[in-house]
Amino acid sequence: MGEDLNGLYAAAAADVDRLIAAVTPDQLAASTPCEGWDVRTLLNHIVGGNALFLARATGAPGPSRDTDFVGDDALGAYRASVAALTEAFAQDGFLAKPVTTPFGEGVGAVLVSMRINEYLLHGWDLAVATGQRREFDAGVVAFAERALRGADVPRGDGRMFKEEQPAPEGAGAVDALAAYMGRRVPG
């Protein structure tokens, strides 16, 4: 990959940081585009995902998904998890290092790419749920567009993504991508 994956990862993480920093306590119970999840559950999933990917990156045992990863400080928990994951991803040779991904054996670049895509999609979910602007780093959006539209997306009931949804006329790139990934884009 000729792209600066760690730079894109940092940009995607910064977008999510900005969104989490603006979440107010009364928004934690708000519903999200992720069926059955409120904002707090979504935040816990994002931080827990970082913990899981850190384990995959380092070869450590993975955490239980039942863990409360955010406690009383979602932003602090997120920032700590991003710092740890950033350090792991920045290790010399990590991008080519053999690792176990959620889809089998791969290399570190696959893990970094997956986090970029997940930050963008779940950042979008968080922005919608909390009424924030759905604006993200253009390089991250373009990267995710290429990666996700070029992938075999597991869709349907019980699968990771719902069927593609129609994007509103004139939708921006991130909204169009969210619709492609099965999210209903608000008007």
Contact 116, 10 (CB under 8 A): no
- Using alpha carbons, select from 47, 22, 65, 181 the residue that is nearest to residue 115: 47
**pLDDT above 60 for 163:** yes
Domain boundaries, given as residue ranges, for the chain:
5-134
Q: What global pTM score does this model have?
A: 0.93
Per-residue confidence (pLDDT) for residue 154, from 0 to 100? 65
Closest C-alpha to 114, from 91, 139, 81, 147: 147
- If you average pLDDT over residues 164-168, what whole number do you get? 86
Which of the listed CATH numbers 1.20.120.450, 1.20.120.550, 2.40.100.10, 3.30.565.10 matches domain 5-134?
Answer: 1.20.120.450
Q: Are 36 and 44 in contact (CB under 8 A)?
A: no
Q: How many CB atoms lie within 10 A of CB 70?
A: 23
Q: pLDDT, tens digit, for every residue of 49-93?
A: 999 999 999 999 999 989 999 999 999 999 999 999 999 999 999
> How far apart are alpha carbons 69 and 128 in whole angstroms?
22
- For 9-44, what is each residue's pLDDT tens digit? 999 999 999 999 999 999 999 999 988 999 999 999
Q: So what's the pLDDT on residue 173?
A: 95
Token pair listed for 26: 């009364």
DSSP assignment of 127-182 equals HHHHT------HHHHHHHHHHHHTS---BSTTSSBPPP-PPPTT--HHHHHHHHTT
Number of Cβ within a 10 Å radius of residue 7: 12
Q: What is the pLDDT of residue 120?
A: 97
Q: What is each CA distance from 185 to 22, 117, 127, 174, in whole angstroms?
A: 21, 17, 11, 10
Average model confidence (pLDDT) across the chain: 93
Q: What is the dihedral angle through the alpha carbons of 43, 46, 51, 56, rounded to the nearest 10 degrees?
A: 170
Report the distance separating Cα 107 and Cα 84, nearest Å.
18
Q: Who's near 119: CB < 8 A, 6+ residues apart? A: 9, 12, 13, 15, 16, 46, 140
